[in-house]
Amino acid sequence: MPDQDAPVHPHHLSSSTPERLTQRSDARRNIQKLLDAAAALFVTSGVEVPVREIALKAGVGMGTMYRHFPTRADLIVAVYRHQVEACVEAGPALLAESSTPFVALQSWIYLFVDFLTTKHGLAAALQSDRPSFDALHNYFLERLVPVCEQLLDAARQADEMHSDIQALELMWGVGSLCINTTKELQIDARRLVSLLLTGLR
């Protein structure tokens, strides 16, 4: 019977542990490359851009693409969630580094505008999977509304604005302006949103 208290010899440890760690690290890098490539191409070509172009821009094979994102909807949702989290993280960072809370609010709203205007075709792309789209919308509200509310509260406490507008109202208003802008009419969403923000001061 082996000694229960005997030290474990190094050779008894799985020699594949470093290899598995490397594989996980490589997988994370590939996922990040795919998310970055997809986000960039969604801006220029919309969410219907061929997945082969995304894989090519990311520098990975189609097998890697389908291993991480089996369907186009999976990729769209992943990019969407990734960029929502970027907006979430930006809120506190902007409050800490901006000259005033209102400037932080303004900068964050412009990030929100960029986020909205680069999601052309999202609803149509996910129409076939309504539960996923609904879950994504709820996630969007749960993550972003509190950040916007924090920025609004900070601006009010600094006496930079006296409007009692709520975060969801402001985000809905910004979203409406972004939805109704078109490249054909050369309407700048940021310009319209800046007028809205000026009215809050």
pLDDT tens, residue by residue, 113-142: 888 876 655 655 555 556 666 788 888 899
Share of the chain above pLDDT 90, in %: 43
Q: What is the assigned CATH class of domain 9-70?
A: mainly alpha
| Gap between the Cα atoms of 126 and 38, Å rounded | 16
The CA-based diameter of the chain, rounded to the nearest angstrom, is 83
Tell me, yes or no, if the two domains 9-70 and 71-201 fold the same way: no
Residue 158 above 90 pLDDT? yes
Across the range 23-43, mean pLDDT stands at: 87
More confident position, 60 or 128: 60
| Gap between the Cα atoms of 183 and 188, Å rounded | 8
Residue pair 167/79 in contact by the 8 Å Cβ criterion: no
| Gap between the Cα atoms of 79 and 42, Å rounded | 10
Query: Where residue 37 falls among pLDDT bands split at 50, 70, 90?
Result: very high
Kindly list the domain boundaries of the chain, sorted by start residue. 9-70, 71-201
CATH code for the structural domain at 71-201: 1.10.357.10
Full-model pTM: 0.75
Contacts of 42 (CB under 8 A, 6+ apart): 49, 76, 79, 118, 119, 120
